[in-house]
Amino acid sequence: MNHLIDILQLSTQEIDELVEKAKDIIANPEAYAHKCDGKILATLFFEPSTRTRLSFESAMLSLGGKTLGFSSASSSSAAKGESVADTVRTVSCYADIIAMRHPKEGAPLVASMRSEVPVINAGDGGHNHPTQTLTDLLTINREKGRFNDLTVGFCGDLKFGRTVHSLISALSRYTGIKFVLVSPEELKLPSYVKNEVIKKNNIPYEQTTDLESVMPELDILYMTRVQRERFFNEEDYLRLKDSYILTPEKLKNAKQDLCIMHPLPRVNEISVAVDDDPRACYFKQVRNGRYIRMALIMKMLGIE
Ligand code: CP
């Protein structure tokens, strides 16, 4: 049985195949409309979500399957003290595949050890979010036509931003990548990601607090929300939350073919005035999320 807990469980060849499959689904959706007839996806979300949960459900419904699940811990027996292991063991009696989000790092890994069906990590604390990374990779492929030779800027909360950690891991396997890490001092990329991923793979990188100074060199700008739910005190959050607000003015020196990404939800970090810029790709990411999850569900269920 296969599970997806960390993006590095997929080889670059498997990622390429998923991206190509998603592109084929986009081109020929009717060919996939019954691929998962009779299959059930369970979405176990112990933490809030709009895109990930609904795109998983939309993906399974678009494949002809059905869905069940819960959208908060308080509406499951976790509220009575049931463990993740027992919850997953139970749900794997009702579903063929499980997508799980949890505020605790490692919870989906624990779940995968107890599940009788494949488990997909739909985000665990500040750790990983592999299906957002697949979404991001499909978006990069469709917008830039390649994964190599890209200067990728990450801006905002690089400490708690799990989508940043997963995407850095995935892109570190390609050639000609350079990372530009833009954050306040307190929200710098964790050293385990910097040392174990960036430095270990000899990826060139620079760290700065000044977004505008590095803007002209970027092919991709990946903005992130300051993750209020992971702060220990509200004062620090309030001080840091508006560290970076992308506006049309700040894009004046950016490349004409810059790809502006954001996993969403956004709070203040991208002005709505940027939404009409043709370089804004974050709602394209949302759309891509459904198709790449269709491709992933099929792969994990062994459906060709
Ligand atoms: N990108 C993302 O994970 O969004 P949700 O929190 O809405 O699922």
Give distance in angstroms: CA of 286 to centre of ligand 1.
9
CA distance 168 to 187: 16
Instruction: Judge contact between 150 and 220, C-beta under 8 A.
Output: yes
Q: Is 52 an annotated catalytic residue?
A: yes
Joined tokens for residue 139:
């978006």
Clarify whether 178 is annotated catalytic.
Answer: no
The residue annotated as part of the active site, out of 3, 35, 53, 129, is 129
Active site residue 262: no
Model confidence over 164-216: pLDDT tens digits?
Answer: 999 999 999 999 999 999 999 999 999 999 999 999 999 999 999 999 999 99
**Count of CB atoms situated within 10 Å of the CB of 128:** 25
The pairing of beta strand 205-208 with beta strand 97-102 = unpaired
Give the global pTM: 0.95
* Residue 263 DSSP class: -
pLDDT in tens, 38-73: 999 999 999 999 999 999 999 999 999 999 999 999
| Rounded mean pLDDT, 91-119 | 97
